[in-house]
Structure 1
Amino acid sequence: MKKCHIAYLACTAALIGTGLGAAPPVAAHRIHVVHPGESIQKAVDSARPGDTVLLTYGTYHESVDVSTPGLTLRGVGRGTVLEPATAAATGSTAPSTGSAAGSGAVKGSKGSKETKGPKAATSCAASGNGICVVGTKDHNVDDVTVASLTVRGFAKTGVYATEADGLTVRHVTAEKNGVWGIATEHSVHGLFRHNTARDNGDAGLFLANTVKEELGATDTEGTVVERNRLEGNRIGVTVRRLRNLTLAGNHLTGNCAGVFVVGDENKPKAGFVTVRENRIVRNNKSCPKTARLDALQGSGIVLTGAEDSLVTRNVIKDNVGKSPLSGGIVLFKSFVGTTSDRNRISDNLLRGNSPDLVNTDTGKGNTFEGNSCRSSKPAGLC
């Protein structure tokens, strides 16, 4: 009987092996381990959707293009460092879409459409960015994660994404990059959590519809920026011509300005942005005037050309400067004449700013309620 039972099992196994009654095979997700001196790009190019490219401890002199959906590019912490391949890369001039454009589209300018397709994916990293996550207008790159590493010293942006859906960037340190620390355009459903962006030429975190065309604000479909540390940049976080986005629980200090929510004359207008429970302290670095924006110093949160946004339960202290945009929370009419309308500024704690609340906007329906503050322009907002 024992021999018969064994034979039966063998026959059953043989039948399953031929596919009779068998479940379809499931491809295993692979981990591609890369060490300093080896090519990250080669590992990324050989990875399949759902795979992880794991970068071990050390410094990599390389830029990387990612266009594989579901890919995770991960280091082992801040000790995994990406720097430019050559010293020349750090010396190149910032692009026209850099600090002037990133500071906020308070002065509009038209530009050419960006290149799409494989050439764009190839050129992004080569043009001075660190890590590029690049889809196309017709096909987003979905569910990419960049995590647990440092990107430092790139001429343009540390981590840049365009046409990305569901991008996650977490535990990334982006420092001393020429334009932006971490930036996205044409992207939705993003999550930016527990990152540090410091000493970048323009914004530590920059999120926009596009910087190359004049378009109305686009819906991010719920992008979240939370628990990041942003320090020593021109602007901590810039949200430009976007709708439906949340900034929560971030710490911003030592920038020229903490948060910018920026719109312009295009339709739909920027708005439906929630800025809540952030700590915004001593953003008193001085930055000169640009083609798009006045000199900056001592700005906590600035809304310009935005509508239907909520600024609530933030702690905003000691933001002091002599810029027209200085103050704890500032509603500022954009330089192209667009007003901010129906924004609610409520339940914030403001101390030591100069002044705490500012409203130089002529828009309708803006309200200041329940804020703990001591000074305002005009008087009576506290």
Structure 2
Amino acid sequence: MKKCHIAYLACTAALMGTGLGAAPPVADHTVHVVHPGESIQKAVDAAQPGDTVLLTYGTYHESVDVSTPGLTLRGVGRGTVLEPAAGTASAAPSTAPSTGSGAAKGSKGTKAATSCAASGNGICVVGTKNHNVDSVTIASLKVTGFAKTGVYATEADGLTVRRVTAEKNGVWGIATEQSVHGLFHDNTARDNGDAGLFLANSVKEELGATDTEGTVVEHNRLEGNRIGVTVRRLRNLTLAGNQLTGNCAGVFVVGDENKPKAGFVTVRDNRIERNNKSCPKTARLDALQGTGIVLTGAEDSLVTHNVIKDNVGKSPLSGGIVLFKSFVGTTSDRNLISDNLLRRNSPDLVNTDTGKGNTFEGNSCRTSKPAGLC
């Protein structure tokens, strides 16, 4: 493995009476350069907080666990590709993916940490309940063909995932649990078995919604997945400026009977078109086709200034924007659906929820169920 050692030194001299003052040097950071055929995991394990592991152009047959705070793992674009190692399970077409994460919680150097990558995920960012892994960045690479998830994180604080292509993974393209302050920017998630982007409190425990403390999902492209983006049992999160097309459904904001409820989610300025792929019914969800945005069991959320066109299907969840009473009977309350442009959806607006305080105003649309929402 080659290393490029880069030192950042700063020295400022200032006249202070009859003496000179100098700022202390900034800590050194190392760039660990990895070539195809070399071990990414070995470079990650050798890295210190603040280091970068740089993957050069080519294909790597490996899964990777990351638990070093401040680490950047990046490639040189879509020409840097991670695929499953020979002899490990790769993704197969899935119409009813597992709802489990397949990722145990642990720390660097433990059997628990290595089990995340070993269980069919591509890149794992793994903290613990007692110690989040902070400020990790995954950037400029492609993860494809993994049995479970392309990029998976748990107990992460300040995770950034940008310019990553997550394609043809068995369950999720990019997924997080129990994580806060995330930024998911300029990624492409395509043809994954379930959601392109999946963000949740926990898939293994029945818990109330957790506060993401301002996680942002922006300027991503989600296409050909079962669901473009799923936000499950979370609060305080923004989806903005994304493009969603060719999925069975565009966006799901999902809550349930636990407290606090899911909510305070903003869905704005997205373009959601032709999400007409057909996906069969699963144990947890009805058949999907022609669905733009669904709110179910959510409160105090804002859906605004989205362009939603040509989402056509015959599912109970079909429509441009749909308020749907959750399958466990929890209502959606006090949500504002405003100033969206909707055309040629079937129908444009749907409200089958019995919750209180939901408001539809200023939307440009032509059809609704019940009539009168436009």
TM-score over 0.5 (shorter chain): yes
3-state secondary structure, aligned to 1:184: strand
- Conserved in 1, the CA contact under 8 Å of 2:105 and 2:128? no
CA change 1:232–1:20 in 2 (3 A) is same
Tell me, in whole angstroms, the C-alpha distance in 2 between the residues paired with 1:365 and 1:133.
Answer: 39
**How well do the aligned residues superpose, as a CA RMSD in angstroms?**
7.7
- Conserved in 2, the CA contact under 8 Å of 1:36 and 1:59? yes
Question: How many residues are treated as equivalent by the alignment?
Answer: 373
3-state secondary structure, aligned to 1:10: coil
Tell me, in whole angstroms, the C-alpha distance in 1 between the residues paired with 2:191 and 2:2.
Answer: 74
- With a CA cutoff of 8 Å and minimum separation of 6, indicate the structure with the bigger relative contact order: 1
Query: What residue number does 1:210 align with?
Result: 202
Deviation per residue, 1:136-188 (Å, 9 max, x gap): 00000000000000000000000000000000000000000000000000000
Deviation per residue, 1:8-45 (Å, 9 max, x gap): 99999999999999876643111000000000000000
CA change 1:244–1:14 in 2 (3 A) is closer
- Conserved in 2, the CA contact under 8 Å of 1:237 and 1:259? yes
- When the two structures are superposed, what TM-score results if normalisation uses the length of structure 1? 0.88
- Conserved in 2, the CA contact under 8 Å of 1:108 and 1:214? no
3-state secondary structure, aligned to 2:365: coil
Rg: which structure is higher?
1
Query: What residue number does 1:54 align with?
Result: 54
CA change 1:364–1:56 in 2 (3 A) is same
Tell me, in whole angstroms, the C-alpha distance in 2 between the residues paired with 1:134 and 1:41.
Answer: 14
- Conserved in 1, the CA contact under 8 Å of 2:297 and 2:332? yes
Counterpart of 1:304 (choices 296, 319, 341) is 296
The yes-or-no answer on 1:369 pairing with 2:348 is no
- Conserved in 2, the CA contact under 8 Å of 1:200 and 1:232? yes
Deviation per residue, 1:214-240 (Å, 9 max, x gap): 000000000000000000000000000
Tell me, in whole angstroms, the C-alpha distance in 2 between the residues paired with 1:159 and 1:176.
Answer: 12
CA change 1:203–1:22 in 2 (3 A) is same
Counterpart of 2:351 (choices 359, 362, 366) is 359
Deviation per residue, 1:97-154 (Å, 9 max, x gap): 983538999999999xxxxxxx331100010000000000000000000000000000
Query: Following TM superposition, by how much is the alpha carbon of 1:290 offset from its aligned partner in structure 2, in angstroms?
Result: 0.5
- Conserved in 1, the CA contact under 8 Å of 2:67 and 2:107? no
* Structure 1 gap segments, 5+ residues each: 112-118
- Conserved in 1, the CA contact under 8 Å of 2:11 and 2:22? no
- Conserved in 2, the CA contact under 8 Å of 1:110 and 1:214? no
Deviation per residue, 1:253-275 (Å, 9 max, x gap): 00000000000000000000000
Between the aligned residues of both structures, percent identity stands at 91
3-state secondary structure, aligned to 2:87: helix
Tell me, in whole angstroms, the C-alpha distance in 2 between the residues paired with 1:100 and 1:6.
Answer: 44
- Conserved in 2, the CA contact under 8 Å of 1:180 and 1:203? yes
3-state secondary structure, aligned to 1:8: coil
Query: What residue number does 2:37 align with?
Result: 37
CA change 1:292–1:196 in 2 (3 A) is same
CA change 1:263–1:22 in 2 (3 A) is same
3-state secondary structure, aligned to 2:10: helix
- Conserved in 2, the CA contact under 8 Å of 1:107 and 1:336? no
Tell me, in whole angstroms, the C-alpha distance in 2 between the residues paired with 1:88 and 1:210.
Answer: 31
- Conserved in 2, the CA contact under 8 Å of 1:105 and 1:292? no
3-state secondary structure, aligned to 1:88: coil
3-state secondary structure, aligned to 2:16: helix
- Conserved in 2, the CA contact under 8 Å of 1:50 and 1:72? yes
* Structure 2 gap segments, 5+ residues each: none
The yes-or-no answer on 1:235 pairing with 2:233 is no
- Conserved in 1, the CA contact under 8 Å of 2:13 and 2:21? no
CA change 1:104–1:97 in 2 (3 A) is farther
Query: Following TM superposition, by how much is the alpha carbon of 1:95 offset from its aligned partner in structure 2, in angstroms?
Result: 13
- Conserved in 1, the CA contact under 8 Å of 2:4 and 2:33? no
- The structure with the greater share of residues assigned to strand is 2
In the TM superposition, 1:1-382 aligns within 5 A as 26-84=26-84, 91=89, 99=97, 101=99, 119-382=111-374
CA change 1:148–1:65 in 2 (3 A) is same
Tell me, in whole angstroms, the C-alpha distance in 1 between the residues paired with 2:291 and 2:3.
Answer: 83
Tell me, in whole angstroms, the C-alpha distance in 2 between the residues paired with 1:321 and 1:5.
Answer: 56
Query: Following TM superposition, by how much is the alpha carbon of 1:192 offset from its aligned partner in structure 2, in angstroms?
Result: 0.1
CA change 1:36–1:88 in 2 (3 A) is closer
- The structure with the greater share of residues assigned to helix is 1
- When the two structures are superposed, what TM-score results if normalisation uses the length of structure 2? 0.90
- Conserved in 1, the CA contact under 8 Å of 2:35 and 2:56? yes
CA change 1:102–1:326 in 2 (3 A) is farther
CA change 1:286–1:22 in 2 (3 A) is same
Deviation per residue, 1:315-364 (Å, 9 max, x gap): 00000001000000000001100000000000000000000000000000
CA change 1:89–1:188 in 2 (3 A) is farther
Tell me, in whole angstroms, the C-alpha distance in 1 between the residues paired with 2:285 and 2:337.
Answer: 23
CA change 1:34–1:9 in 2 (3 A) is closer
Tell me, in whole angstroms, the C-alpha distance in 2 between the residues paired with 1:9 and 1:38.
Answer: 31
